């Protein structure tokens, strides 16, 4: 009797299928939250989703000091 059911979140919604849908739900959640700390955590989650959507970061464009400005002298 192991029925396979689609998992649901606290609101009873099925899992998101795309990063856009995830971001949309997080924005809805953020607007409903009362505490600043909760909103900040949700904003961090939104940024993580957006970063995943953008793809991997190309480290070859960043110099060893962490600056992507090649016209600046190296930090000492």
Does residue 74 lie in a domain region? no
Question: Is the model's pLDDT at 72 over the cut of 80?
Answer: no
Residue 75 forms part of a structural domain: no
pTM, rounded to two decimals: 0.50
The reply to whether 13 falls in a domain is: no
Is there a domain that residue 55 lies in?
no
Whether 24 has a pLDDT exceeding 80, the answer reads yes
Per-residue confidence band for 6, with pLDDT thresholds at 50, 70 and 90: confident
pLDDT, position 33: 81
Q: What is the pLDDT, as a whole number, of residue 18? A: 92
- Tell me, yes or no, whether 31 lies in a domain: yes
Q: What domain range is 36 assigned to? A: 19-50
**What does residue 29 show for φ and ψ, rounded to 5 degrees?**
-65, -45
72 in a domain, yes or no? no
What are 33's two structure tokens? Answer: 């939250």
Task: Quote the number of domains for the chain.
Answer: 1
In a domain, 39, yes or no: yes
What residues contact residue 71 under an 8 Å CB cut-off, 6+ apart?
Answer: none
């Amino acid at each position: 009797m192991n029925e396979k059911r689609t998992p649901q979140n606290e609101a009873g919604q099925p899992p998101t299928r795309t990063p856009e849908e995830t971001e949309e739900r997080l924005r809805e959640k953020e607007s409903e939250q009362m505490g600043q700390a909760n909103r900040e955590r949700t904003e961090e989650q939104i940024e993580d989703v957006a970063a995943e959507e953008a793809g991997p970061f190309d480290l070859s464009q960043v110099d060893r000091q962490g600056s992507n400005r090649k016209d600046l002298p190296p930090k000492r």
